[in-house]
Amino acid sequence: MARLTGMAATRPVVIIGAGIQGCATAFFLSQRGQSVIVLEKDHVGRHASGVNAGGVRRLGRDIAEIPLSVASMDWWNQIDQLLDIDRGFHRQFYVKVALDDAGADLAFRRIQQLHSAGFQHETWIDRDQLLCRIPHLTKSVFGGVLVEGDGWALPWKITRAFHDKAAALGAQFRTPVTVTSIDKSGEHWQVTTDAGMIETDIVVNCAGAWGTQIAEMTGDVLPIDAYAPMLVITDRQPMFLQSVVGVMGGTLSFKQLDNGSMVIGGGKRGVADAARNLTQIIPAGLSSFVMTAGRVFPHLRDVAILRAWAGIEGYTKDNLPIIGNGSQAGIIHGFGFSAHGFQLGPAVGEALADLAMARQTRVNLTPFSPHRFAVSPDQAAGH
């Protein structure tokens, strides 16, 4: 590939998928004057990036992911200026409450572990302080692990804003266009879609839960599983919460939007049918995390749930995303965010843009290397 490091390629970079990763990558590339074409089989933000819980947190991340998450937070803190929007990021605090001894124990161990790894952002908050900051919390709370400055954002709004800004800077978005094959032709790649073929030097795979199929088209075997985590939204209630709340040792995510509605999730999965873009809600799963919400906020007994939904997301074996160069030159992967990729979006977009322009990335991407799952195609065919 006759291309100078750090320079714009002449052919547009082709990004597959207009979720937050694809849109953010398109934004950073366009900002640097690199032409891009984004191909999206449905519409912008149709999948995980438009329907997720909107949690913007460093709290509770795998240690390997913290530097990337911290880098992303820099972008979140200037997201309004970056994307020309208003109130894009609701900067609050994020707390995982301990509801019993076991929870408190987990919390202490977690904080210690982070400290020995050199991270100070997660701190213990005791019961009284916590009740002072969140008066409606159950009185039987023990305390919690807290990160100042984490918060939430409206997923669709942010994904859309990355799209709008990228488009304004010249990025081309083609929807609905499905990529059906990717083939090497001499020095470059031919990306075939249901609406014609595009030649390019660089393909960025931001296809979310469908990333495995795209990888396969380039000869990379990178298996992920598609699952459909579920969420519910309630009707509007008077404001009582200015933070995002989870539980230690459990999987709750609880926030109140500025219109008063609450978004509640909790790791429970519905049925995902990625091939047909379908999800199904499992009632018992909803019930389980709503009960957890009740243990944290018992006063919400009579609040009504208006809708439940699920989004399709790709999960890797180690729950860390796949970010990095593929086995062939010109192929870059960024998918498999395992249900915590929304917050990472801005930093991932920047990193993928760096890779596409063969620049040094700000964050070391080694923990996310696609090659950690390396299996040869023969091996893969074997099972």
Partner 1 sequence: MFKSTMPEKGRIVHLQFDGEAITAFDGDNLAAALLRSGKVKFRTAAKNDPRGPYCMMGVCFECLVKIDGRPNQQACQITVHDGMIVQRQNAPDSAGKVSG
Partner 2 sequence: MANQHFQIAIIGAGPAGMAAALTTTKAGLETIVIDDQKGSGGQVYRNLLANQEASPAYLGKSYYDGTELAQSFANCGAVYQPDCTVWQITNTHEIALVSRGKAELITADYIIIATGAIERPMPVKGWTLPGVMSVGGAQTLLKQAALGADDAVFVGSGPLLYLTAWQYIKAGLAVRAVIDITGGKQWRSAIPYAPLALLQPDMLVMGREWLGDIRRNTEVITKVSAIEIIGQSQAQGVSCTLSSGDKIDIDANHIFLHQGVVPNVNLTMATGLAHQWDHQAHCWRPVIDVTGKSSDEQIYIAGDGGGIGGAKAAAIAGRLAASAIVARCGKPRFLAQLYYKLRHLHYLSIRPFLDRLYLPSADFRLAQTDETIICRCEAVSKAGVNAALASGASGPNQLKAFCRAGMGRCQGRGCGLVVQEMIASHTGQSMAETGYYRLRPPVKPITLAALASLEGPWPD
Query: In whole angstroms, what is the distance from residue 234 CA to residue 236 CA?
Result: 7
158 interacts with ligand FAD by CB under 6 A: no
63 binds partner 1 (CB under 8 A): no
Which part of the chain contacts ligand FAD (CB under 6 A), choosing from 34-42, 182-190, 364-372, 373-381? 34-42
346 Cα distance to chain centroid: 10
Binding residues with partner 1: total (CB under 8 A): 11
Cβ-based burial of 309 (10 A; exposed 0-12, middle 13-18, buried ≥19): middle
C-alpha 311/C-alpha 270 separation (Å) is 9
Beta bridge partners of 314: 226
Joined tokens for residue 256: 């109140």
Asked if 205 touches ligand FAD (CB under 6 A), the answer is no
Structure tokens at 89: 């990021």
Q: Does 194 bind partner 2 (CB under 8 A)?
A: no
Q: Where are the alpha helices (DSSP H) in 33-100?
A: 48-51, 66-76, 79-83
309 near partner 2, rule: CB under 8 A: yes
CA gap 235, 318 in Å, rounded: 36
227 binds, among partner 2, partner 1, ligand FAD, none (CB under 5 to 8 A by kind): none
Closer to partner 1 at the Cβ: 196 or 238? 238
Asked if 85 interacts with ligand FAD (CB under 6 A), we say no
The CA distance from 276 to 330, in Å, is 29
For residue 176, is the peptide bond before it cis, meaning its omega torsion is within 30 degrees of 0?
yes
Comparing CB distances to partner 1, the nearer of 132 and 239 is: 239
Q: Does 238 bind partner 1 (CB under 8 A)?
A: yes
Choice from 13, 18, 161, 296 touching ligand FAD (CB under 6 A): 18
Sheet-wide strand order for 331-335? 172-174, 36-39, 13-16, 203-205, 331-335, 322-325
Write out the H or E segment, with its range, that includes residue 317.
none
Across-strand partners of 331? Answer: 203
**Does residue 265 touch ligand FAD according to CB under 6 A?**
yes
Stretch that binds partner 1, among 90-98, 168-176, 224-232, 252-260 (CB under 8 A): 252-260
Query: Which residues lie across from 271 on neighbouring strands?
Result: 280
Residue 88 interacting with ligand FAD (CB under 6 A): no
Residue 379 makes contact with partner 2 by CB under 8 A: no
The answer to whether 195 contacts partner 2 (rule: CB under 8 A) is no
SS3 311: coil
282 makes contact, choosing from partner 1, partner 2, ligand FAD, none, with CB < 5 to 8 Å by partner type, with partner 2
- Of 313 and 354, the one with the shorter C-beta distance to ligand FAD is 313
Cα of 340 vs its chain's centroid, Å: 4
* Contacts to ligand FAD from residues 49-78, by CB under 6 A: 49, 52-55
Contacting ligand FAD (CB under 6 A), which of 34, 47, 232, 322?
47
How far apart, in Å, are the Cα atoms of 120 and each of 6, 114, 331? 34, 7, 36
341 part of the interface to ligand FAD, by CB under 6 A: yes
2 contributes a contact to partner 2 by CB under 8 A: no
Give whichever of 30 and 256 is closer to partner 1, judged by the CB atom: 256
Instruction: Decide: 281 and 230 in contact? Cβ < 8 Å.
Output: yes
Contact between 1 and partner 1 by CB under 8 A: the answer reads no
**Helix, strand or coil, per DSSP, at residue 18:** coil
Residue 138 or 190: which CB sits closer to partner 2?
138
Q: Is position 305 an interface residue for partner 2 (rule: CB under 8 A)?
A: yes
What is the Cα–Cα distance from 293 to 263, expressed in whole angstroms? Answer: 11
Please tell me the total number of residues recorded for the chain in this structure.
383
Residue 250 interacts with, from partner 1, ligand FAD, partner 2, none (CB under 5-8 Å by kind):
none
Question: Interface residues with partner 2 (CB under 8 A)?
Answer: 43, 45, 50, 138, 156, 160, 232, 234-235, 271, 278, 280-284, 286-288, 290-291, 293-295, 298, 300-309
Question: Interface residues with ligand FAD (CB under 6 A)?
Answer: 16-22, 39-42, 46-49, 52-55, 178-179, 206-210, 214, 229, 231, 253, 265, 311, 313, 335, 337, 339-343
Question: Interface residues with partner 1 (CB under 8 A)?
Answer: 235-239, 256, 258-260, 302, 304
